[in-house]
Amino acid sequence: MKFIALAAAAVFVAGTASAQQLAPSATLDAIKARGHIECGVHLGLPGFSFANDKGEWTGLDVDYCKSLAAAVLGDATKVKFTPTSVQQRWAVLQSSQVDLLSRNTTITFSRNATLGVNFQGINFYEGQTFVVRTKAKVAGVKDLADATICVAAGSTEEKMAADWFRERNLKVTIINFQKNDDAISAYDQGRCDAYTAGVGALAGQRIKFKDPAEHQILTEIISNDPQGPVTRWGDERWQLVVRWVLNAQIAAEALGVTSKNVDEMKAKSTNAEVRRLLGVDGKFGAMMGLSDDWAYNLIKQVGNYGESYERTVGMGSPLKLQRGANALWTKGGLLFTPPFQ
């Protein structure tokens, strides 16, 4: 009897002491079995998630999902994109049709508390503003008193605009459309004096107007809309992967690792954090149940955060957005990442 207890204890100790046991992850197992990631994106927002004329998805949010595929499966092309509307996005995520949402979605308290979703970090700091006709001579948001404003129903912008004008005792009429595109075309048709959305979204959507030069985006910002990838509750290990892939994108920029110099850095860098990030030391990939070159793959195939930003919404894109709040904290922005230790 004593012997059996002793043997059981020995087996238990040996079990915990041997190679670290990974928590089960249904999502990661499913992704590896099916060979691709299911990523919920926006219906069509230039710069963030937009199918180009060849039918390829491009944009900052799309790049994030590609990085995730490179980290998990070793191949950035192994992503299937599911366009989701403002209304369907939560149901699509909750019902496991997608593994995550990466679609320009604002992090809010009530969403986090009541929808069974977790926000895994911030990949774009957005602020809400308005687009108006240049000839309307609007200098600030206050000049929009008595105006009619088109907005997508159920967006954070809808509530934010209503609250902002009500607080200031200004009367406006807000018209709620089911889809962003319907609101934009109604504004373009003259149904509204202004259309409201985030700065980044507006910069992209402005391209859709009949004559973009006739419209101006106000510089005044009325809200703070941090956005990032969203997962369901449960499956902590999957949430861990989603969170640290985003951190790796940002850390790579901070550490000066780019898609061009990543091979050289991997071979020669003496920086301890770079060596851990790229899987030379530390075996960080294995701790998450991924290969140790997970971060190397995503940097090599998609690039670091800065490269992705410039290509999709920054100076290398038609949107021409400054880095602003989306620069690294060392360069006056808000982006930073916890250390890879």
Q: List CB contacts of 200: < 8 A, sequence separation 6 or more.
A: 47, 48, 104, 124, 126, 313, 319, 321
Strands 215-217, 128-133: pairing kind = antiparallel
> What is the chain's length?
341
Q: Which stretch binds another protein (CB under 8 A): 60-68, 189-197, 244-252, 269-277?
A: 189-197
Closest approach of Cβ 127 to another protein, in Å? Answer: 20
Could you give the string, one character per residue 58-97, with x where binding to another protein holds by CB under 8 A and - elsewhere?
----------------------------xx--xx--x---
Closest approach of Cβ 293 to another protein, in Å? Answer: 34
Q: Does position 174 bind another protein by CB under 8 A? A: yes
Q: Does position 163 bind another protein by CB under 8 A? A: yes
Could you give the string, one character per residue 276-315, with x where binding to another protein holds by CB under 8 A and - elsewhere?
----------------------------------------
Q: Which stretch binds another protein (CB under 8 A): 1-9, 168-176, 299-307, 319-327?
A: 168-176
DSSP, collapsed to helix, strand or coil, labels residue 47 as: coil
Closest approach of Cβ 130 to another protein, in Å? Answer: 12
Q: Which stretch binds another protein (CB under 8 A): 15-23, 109-117, 244-252, 255-263?
A: 109-117
Q: How far apart are CA 222 and CA 168, in angstroms?
A: 12
Residue pair 317/324 in contact (Cβ under 8 Å)? The answer is no
Rg (CA), the chain: 23
Q: How far apart are CA 296 and CA 76, in angstroms?
A: 12
Closest approach of Cβ 70 to another protein, in Å? Answer: 29
Q: Does position 232 bind another protein by CB under 8 A? A: yes
Q: Does position 11 bind another protein by CB under 8 A? A: no
Which one-letter amino acid corresponds to residue 281? Answer: D
DSSP, collapsed to helix, strand or coil, labels residue 18 as: coil
Q: How far apart are CA 219 and CA 232, in angstroms?
A: 35
Which of 12, 233, 329, 336: binder of another protein (CB under 8 A)? 233
Closest approach of Cβ 172 to another protein, in Å? Answer: 8
Q: Does position 258 bind another protein by CB under 8 A? A: no
Residue pair 241/294 in contact (Cβ under 8 Å)? The answer is no
Q: How far apart are CA 20 and CA 284, in angstroms?
A: 12
Nearer to another protein, 216 or 291 (CB): 216
Residue 297 CA, distance from chain mean position: 19
| Axis-axis angle for helices 60-73, 236-254 (nearest 10) | 110
Closest approach of Cβ 135 to another protein, in Å? Answer: 10
Task: Give residues in contact with another protein (CB under 8 A).
Answer: 86-87, 90-91, 94, 111, 113-117, 136, 144-148, 150, 153-155, 158-159, 162-163, 166, 171, 173-178, 182-183, 185-186, 189-191, 193, 232-234
